[in-house]
Amino acid sequence: MNTKPCIKGRPKELHVLDYGLFKVHANGRVIGICGFLIRTDAGESILVDTGFPRKYAYDIPRSSEEDRLYDFGEVLELTPGNLPEAQLARAGVKPDEIDLLIMTHTHIDHVGGIADFPHCPILMARAERTLDKPLYWGDVRPIDWPDREYLLIDEDTDLSPGFRVLFAPGHAPGQLSLFLELPETGSILLTGDAISRPAEVAEGFEGARDVAQARKSGERLMSIAEEYNAFIIYGHSPEQWPDLRKTPKFYG
C-alpha cells in the first residue's frame, strides 16, 4: 500500500466523460453513466472509472444476455464514441497519457475497461481489491484482476494539494468519492455511487449492499459538501446529468 501522494500537481480541469445511458427497470429511471478525467497543473491526467465493458458498444443485446443484465435494466445508448479512449480523445488525451486510474468501485458500469490501461497504476480501496474478482453484476463475475501496480487505501487519502480521495463504503465495500479544489469552480465533490442522486439521502439508501454503512457515508459526504460549499456531482442523477458539462467542456 502506498499512502504517500502520488500526484505532483493540483487539479486544474475536471472533464465529465459520457459512457452512455442506462434505464433501470424497477423505477424507469434513465441514468447517465459517467467517468471523469482530472488534469493537473503539472501536466498529469487521471482517469476515474471506465464504464461498461467494450463489448456493449458493439452488441448490446448479446452482451446483456451474457451478463443477465436484462434482469436489472437496459443499456439504451452506448457506442464506440462512449468508450474511454473516444471520450479521452475529445479532451485531447491519449490512453497512454493516463498517469493514474482511479476505480471508485467495480460494478459493471464502472469496471469495464479496468484492463485497458496497462501502463499506469490503479488506485482503489483495499476492501474491493481483496475480493476474489471485481463485483461486476449480481453473481456474474467474468473479469479477473489485471496484473498491475495497485495503490490500495482504506481511509481518506490526499493525493496532492486540492485532491482528496474519500473512503465511502456502503454501495460497495470499497466505494470511493473524490473531493477537488479547482481554480475557478472551487470545491467540488464527486460522490460516485455513494450518493447516486440527491433523493437517495432522504430515502435512506435502501437497496445498498450495506445500508447502515451507506447511510453513514452519505451523511458524511453531505456534511463535507456543506462545510466547503462544494458543488456536488452525483453518481447517477437523471435530473443533473443533462446539465453537466461534458468533455471537451470542463470545470476549471
pLDDT digits (tens, 9 = 90+) for 133-145: 999 999 999 999 9
Q: What is the pLDDT of residues 179-218, one digit of tens each?
A: 999 999 999 999 999 999 999 988 988 888 889 999 999 9
Residue 212 lies in a domain: yes
Better-predicted residue by pLDDT, 175 or 3: 175
In a domain, 4, yes or no: no
Full domain range(s) for residue 116: 11-243
The pLDDT tens digits for 86-138 are 999 999 999 999 999 999 999 999 999 999 999 999 999 999 999 999 999 99
β-pairing, 186-192 vs 176-182, is: antiparallel
CATH number, domain containing residue 28: 3.60.15.10
Cell numbers standing for residue 191: 460522490
Based on the structure, what is the number of domains in the chain?
1
Give percent of the chain above pLDDT 70.
98
pLDDT of 119? 95
Asked if the structure places residue 160 within a domain, the reply is yes
- Residue 6's pLDDT band (boundaries 50, 70, 90)? confident
Q: What mean pLDDT do residues 2-10 have?
A: 72
In a domain, 128, yes or no: yes
Over residues 42-47, the mean pLDDT reads: 98
Neighbours of 27 (CB within 10 A): 8
Decide if 61 is inside a domain.
yes
* pLDDT attached to residue 5: 55
Instruction: Tell me: pLDDT of 23 over 90.
Output: yes
Whether 250 is covered by a domain: the verdict is: no
Whether the full predicted model's pTM is greater than 0.85, yes or no, is yes
Report d(CA 123, CA 102) in Å as an integer.
5
pLDDT of residue 1 exceeding 70, the answer is: no
Residue 248 resides in a domain: no
Three-state DSSP at 135 gives coil
Quote the longest CA-to-CA distance of the chain: 46
Per the domain annotation, does 251 fall within a domain?
Answer: no
Burial of 149 (0-12, 13-18, 19+ CB in 10 A): exposed
